[in-house]
Structure 1
Amino acid sequence: MKPKTNKTLIITYYWPPAGGPGVQRWLKFVKYLPDFGVQPIVYIPENPTYPLLDENLVQEVSDKVTILKQPIFEPYGFASFLSKNKTKKISSGIIPNKKKQSFIERTLLWIRGNMFIPDARIFWVKPSIKFLQKYIEEHKIETIITTGPPHSVHLIGLGLKKQNNIQWIADFRDPWTTIGYHKALKLSDKSAKKHKDLEKEVMNSCDQLIVTSPTTKTEFEQITSKPIEVITNGYDIEKVEKKSMDSKFTLAHIGSFLSERNPRILWKVLSELVKENKDFANDFQLKLIGAVSKEVLETINEFRLEKYVNHLGYVSHSEALQEQRSSQVLLLIEIDSEATNCIIPGKLFEYMVSERPILAIGPENADFKNIIKETNTGVFFTYDEKEALKSQIETYYKQFKQNTLQVNAIGLQKYSRKKLTEQLATLLTEH
């Protein structure tokens, strides 16, 4: 057994003031780890190129954490001379529909996939290993954690593991080669093999893997025999300034709305409802918060729903929580693909404690379907359940009109950030 308090070095690219879901997981783990006898030391880039910024999150960083920083060279500056806007979108995960990609977009994707393996943060690996090797020796660090994406962060762990008798835990917030956008990177056979080889080496060199979903665990068990623990994302107890409920019947989507997530089934249902029911048409609003792909907006226009759209763009995390809790119904959309069964969107857990019903659409065997069902926080539909989806929206609308639209969640406690950190701390102290 380790002593009661142990130092753990956490290597991550995303950290406040980065915005978006990637930063939340370790920001919250670090907040609660000291409660379980773990002293967190966080290593981050000094000058990162974050596609989204949320300065408010800086205030949430624990005062019990030690922060280490080293400069990073990122090639996005060179790519942005082609198109700053397109570069920013691709770096934030918004990949245009394959049929509608411009020459610049195709070029950027090819560069991203083949010249920077596993990703554009690869140039941070060698200097980080050199810097952290010295720090580990001087401060007698026994455990390191790497969290990806970007998966180049795991290569820092790999390098340090080769030089030290150290416990290394690799946390995969998303899969590596089976993630949906991986196929869009226009990889050559040689590049695809290199990704696979690196993925296998990381998984078989670390001492422990952490994943965020049961499906990812099953996938990874085909690659490695190393122990794999499922620790999902979760919700934190946060003070959210009260905002009055929307007077409109708002269906709200919070977060990036990617091209591949474009739910034509939903737009068709909504277009039918506004045509068939004048009251619904008068009351309905589609609230979009966050980056929305051009293809999604074009499809909304195709179904003549544009006049019902309230697109707020990117807002701070605290504002997003306010908007969640003031919306009538929350939309959770995932790509209709077997490859996305493992994706449990981080916003699901914040949705679950918002006390608003979730309307979810995704692949039949999606892991998040089970969570919604077990917590009684909403309803899930596949992409071929059009009539059932329409009926559910009509039911929610009737409840809205009767002022009875609510949700009675059960069993949420195990998804609290503190409970999940306890699970992580147990892993750290058992090794």
Structure 2
Amino acid sequence: MKVLLVSFYFPPAGGGGVQRPLKLAQYLPGLGIETHVLAPDDPQWIHRDEGLRVPTQAWVHRARYLGPGGRRPAEELHGKQGLARITTQARLFGRRALVPDENVPWSLTAIPAAIRLVRRHGIDVVITTSPPNSIHLVGAAVKRATGARWVADLRDSAVAHVHRRSESAAVRAKEKVDLGVAKLVARSADAIVCVADFIADEVRALGPRGAVATIPNGSDFDDFDGLDYTPGERLRITHTGSFFGKRDPRPFLQALHDAGVDATARFLGDFRSADREWARRLDLGEKLELIPYAPRATSLALQRDSEALLLLIPDAGGRGQGVLSGKVFEYLAARRPILAAVPPGGAAAELILAAGAGVVAAPDDVDGLREAIVELDRRFRSGGLPDVDLSDEWIDRVSRLSRVEETAELLRALA
């Protein structure tokens, strides 16, 4: 069996969005599936990670990237007033006018490249994995041109992204276009894979022609091999990942300030200028450490060598209830206690509590977060915070390889 995986995010791109397609390309060949990958040559991602290894058993093909480079519009607009702000907004307008997303121009080169690869290599199934949503235009076009089976892999909501500011008219307009893409996926894809049940429910409401399956992200336990935890002199709570949209560190930082314990919060990744200025007014001093983006190897080592890990998932008007981000599973693999500032009763909270991997407080509950910090510090001072002890059953349940095996089973059923 032969598959073509079309992914916008693939090494040397950095960031969390790379891991799901990368691990598919890594594990599928070992399960007897010849795997080809189509990715952009260089879309000027915001971050690059030259340390990520491209799987040697997969064939990686590149299509020329057309479109704007990676940018952070909110950061470019921050602090600008008057003419400077208007000029920046004008410069960003072309990017924001592209629908369903700014990466859609890549379809102009990706579609013909994918069609050639399917015909040349006798590809049985094409997998398109989003974000960005425009990637699914490639799958629909290839299916129509070649008759190959098409699997759409959805890692974010098809219609209402949790981190988007839905109160914005521009965002609501884009979400209408996203709904159009979701309807295209529903009526054309032979199967649809979703990382969370709430996304699968959204898709089923559109009356899809193909099967819909939930295959969550997975934990890469092997990635932490050889990384040690050495207890620090003070409680170190680490968050890895960038801040955008509705992800908000301020309630946690206020709770850290109010807790009055000897602790350090470490944030690795892009930290918004507005949040940095807000935190400065709290005068946290050595209690706050901001670390710029670093390669994944550095991120994993920092996670492992922490007393606790901070997980932030916004409620976003109820949208965050079903979110099970890749970060949840990465933290489980690190085996350090998790302070989960997530919607109580939501999917992430239920998974963390069921695994015995940490404590949960609502993302905007300053008092609840303060109490959690104080309790973590008490346990740390009174005997330490040992590694999270996951049973073999739990490890098998959440491991990345198990997820890829589920995907392989679905692919074989289509061929």
Shared fold, TM over 0.5 = yes
Which amino acid is the alignment partner of residue 252 of structure 1?
Answer: T
Number of the residue aligned with 2:155: 173
Which of 338, 341, 348 pairs up with 1:358? 338
Number of the residue aligned with 2:19: 24
Number of the residue aligned with 1:334: 313
1:430 offset after TM fit, Å?
1.1
State the aligned residue count.
404
Say if 1:96 and 1:295, in contact at 8 Å, map to a contact too. Answer: no
Which residues in structure 2 correspond to 1:120-199 (within 5 Å)? 120-179=102-161, 180-181=163-164, 183=166, 186-187=169-170, 193-199=176-182
1:240 offset after TM fit, Å?
3.8
1:45 offset after TM fit, Å?
1.1
The verdict on how the C-alpha distance between 1:346 and 1:388 changes in structure 2, with shifts beyond 3 A counting, is: same
1:47 offset after TM fit, Å?
2.3
Which amino acid is the alignment partner of residue 321 of structure 2?
Answer: N
Which residues in structure 2 correspond to 1:268-287 (within 5 Å)? 268-274=254-260, 280=261, 283-287=262-266
Cα distance between partner residues in 1 of 2:17 and 2:64:
20
Say if 1:330 and 1:357, in contact at 8 Å, map to a contact too. Answer: yes
Number of the residue aligned with 1:367: 347
1:192 offset after TM fit, Å?
5.0
Which of 211, 216, 231 pairs up with 1:227? 211
1:343 offset after TM fit, Å?
2.4
Cα distance between partner residues in 2 of 1:401 and 1:183:
43
Cα distance between partner residues in 2 of 1:413 and 1:207:
28
Cα distance between partner residues in 2 of 1:144 and 1:365:
36
Q: Is 1:65 the counterpart of 2:46 in the alignment? A: no
Cα distance between partner residues in 2 of 1:118 and 1:98:
28
Say if 1:8 and 1:144, in contact at 8 Å, map to a contact too. Answer: yes
1:350 offset after TM fit, Å?
1.7
Give the SS at the match of 1:260.
Answer: coil
Which residues in structure 2 correspond to 1:86-97 (within 5 Å)? 88-90=71-73
The verdict on how the C-alpha distance between 1:341 and 1:97 changes in structure 2, with shifts beyond 3 A counting, is: farther
The verdict on how the C-alpha distance between 1:185 and 1:97 changes in structure 2, with shifts beyond 3 A counting, is: farther
Number of the residue aligned with 1:430: 413
1:402 offset after TM fit, Å?
2.2
Say if 1:234 and 1:415, in contact at 8 Å, map to a contact too. Answer: yes
Deviations 1:20-51 (A, max 9, x none): 01110111111111222111100111122111
1:121 offset after TM fit, Å?
1.9
The verdict on how the C-alpha distance between 1:311 and 1:61 changes in structure 2, with shifts beyond 3 A counting, is: same
1:157 offset after TM fit, Å?
0.6
Q: CA RMSD in A?
A: 2.6
Which amino acid is the alignment partner of residue 410 of structure 2?
Answer: L
1:384 offset after TM fit, Å?
5.7
Indicate the larger mover: 191-200 or 419-428.
191-200
Which amino acid is the alignment partner of residue 414 of structure 1?
Answer: R
Cα distance between partner residues in 1 of 2:87 and 2:346:
34
Cα distance between partner residues in 2 of 1:149 and 1:94:
21
Deviations 1:176-227 (A, max 9, x none): 3300326377528875543322221122211111111111111222123332
1:68 offset after TM fit, Å?
1.1
Say if 2:308 and 2:337, in contact at 8 Å, map to a contact too. Answer: yes
1:162 offset after TM fit, Å?
1.4
Indicate the larger mover: 395-404 or 13-22.
395-404
Give the SS at the match of 1:42.
Answer: strand
The verdict on how the C-alpha distance between 1:203 and 1:104 changes in structure 2, with shifts beyond 3 A counting, is: farther
Deviations 1:228-253 (A, max 9, x none): 11111112212344363333211111
The verdict on how the C-alpha distance between 1:334 and 1:94 changes in structure 2, with shifts beyond 3 A counting, is: farther
Structure 1: which 5+ residue stretches go unaligned?
A: 1-5, 77-86, 275-279
Which of 284, 292, 305 pairs up with 2:284? 305
Which residues in structure 2 correspond to 1:24-43 (within 5 Å)? 24-43=19-38
Number of the residue aligned with 1:80: none
The verdict on how the C-alpha distance between 1:7 and 1:70 changes in structure 2, with shifts beyond 3 A counting, is: same
Structure 2: which 5+ residue stretches go unaligned?
A: none
1:386 offset after TM fit, Å?
4.0
Say if 1:240 and 1:318, in contact at 8 Å, map to a contact too. Answer: no
Give the SS at the match of 1:56.
Answer: coil
The verdict on how the C-alpha distance between 1:53 and 1:426 changes in structure 2, with shifts beyond 3 A counting, is: same
Which amino acid is the alignment partner of residue 188 of structure 2?
Answer: S
Which amino acid is the alignment partner of residue 253 of structure 1?
Answer: H
1:11 offset after TM fit, Å?
0.5
Number of the residue aligned with 2:324: 344
Deviations 1:122-163 (A, max 9, x none): 222133222222322222211000011111111011111112
Cα distance between partner residues in 2 of 1:317 and 1:310:
18
Number of the residue aligned with 2:385: 405
Cα distance between partner residues in 1 of 2:354 and 2:132:
32
Which residues in structure 2 correspond to 1:239-250 (within 5 Å)? 239-242=225-228, 244-250=230-236
Number of the residue aligned with 1:117: 99
Which of 277, 293, 297 pairs up with 1:314? 293
Give the SS at the match of 2:164.
Answer: helix
Number of the residue aligned with 1:378: 358
Give the SS at the match of 2:71.
Answer: helix
Say if 1:97 and 1:260, in contact at 8 Å, map to a contact too. Answer: no
Cα distance between partner residues in 2 of 1:98 and 1:38:
51
